[in-house]
Amino acid sequence: MLERLQHIDQTLTLWINDLGTPKLDQLWLLFSDVKVWFLAYLLIGAYVIHRLGWKRGLIIIVSAALAILLVDQTANLVKNSVCRLRPCYSSYMLENGLHWSEGRGGFFGFYSGHAANSFALATTVAMALSLVKKNGFDRGLIAGFYTWAALVSISRIMAGKHYLGDVLAGALAGTLLAVAVALIARLIIKAVAGPSPS
């Protein structure tokens, strides 16, 4: 059964990876580059503070950073425990046409830290904005953040660094850990900052 699932994962990963073109490689690498997104993170942080007030906003920003730290370290722990080779190190994947467009990185790839971190951040922002009555911009921001998280995840397959299963597991892990951290943040907000603004 496990071999069958692995074969399906390999087949779907090769199919998705084959959709890429050399011209689009730079775009996918842009989605994978964390440094490119720092300005967006600062703007989102400023918006969260604007919508929730400085106390609530600061608690949410700290909880987002904590969620990302937990997700990232958990990803490293799982990678080194599961020891599943990245597709770019698999002779089967390379022989069957895997295209990889950036350095190979570490040997192990389950689960994707990029997918986990991006979904953790999207979930934290979504849960933060659920503390206030959403306006159209909030809804668009949440949809945009989850779209960004999905594109970051797909970029890891396009770069040949992760299997589809790696990014799906990363997205799930990031979402679940972010929900747990955000629920704790809500309790802290109620205790420290009082009722939510409307």
* pLDDT tens, position by position, 77-88: 999 999 999 999
Residue found by looking up tokens 């090769």 in the block: 14
Kindly tell me the burial class for residue 21, based on how many C-beta atoms sit within 10 Å of its own C-beta (0-12, 13-18, 19 or more). exposed
* 18 DSSP β-pair partners: none
Position 18: which residue type?
A: D
pLDDT over 90 at 181, yes or no: yes
Q: Phi and psi dihedrals of 85, rounded to 5?
A: -60, 145
* pLDDT bracket for residue 184 (50, 70, 90): very high
- Separation of alpha carbons 192 and 56, rounded Å: 9
Cα-based angle 152, 153, 159 (whole degrees, multiple of 5): 85
pTM, to two decimals: 0.89
What pLDDT score does 198 carry? 53
Question: Each residue of 2-55: pLDDT tens digit?
Answer: 889 999 999 999 999 998 887 888 888 888 777 878 888 888 899 999 998 999
Quick check: 121 and 64 in contact, CB under 8 A? yes
Q: What is the pLDDT of residue 195?
A: 60
- Cβ atoms of 197 and 52 within 8 Å: the answer is yes
Determine the Cα–Cα distance for residues 88 and 62; give it in Å rounded to an integer. 35
Query: Tens digit of pLDDT for each residue in 94-149?
Result: 999 998 877 778 899 999 999 999 999 999 989 888 887 778 888 888 999 899 99
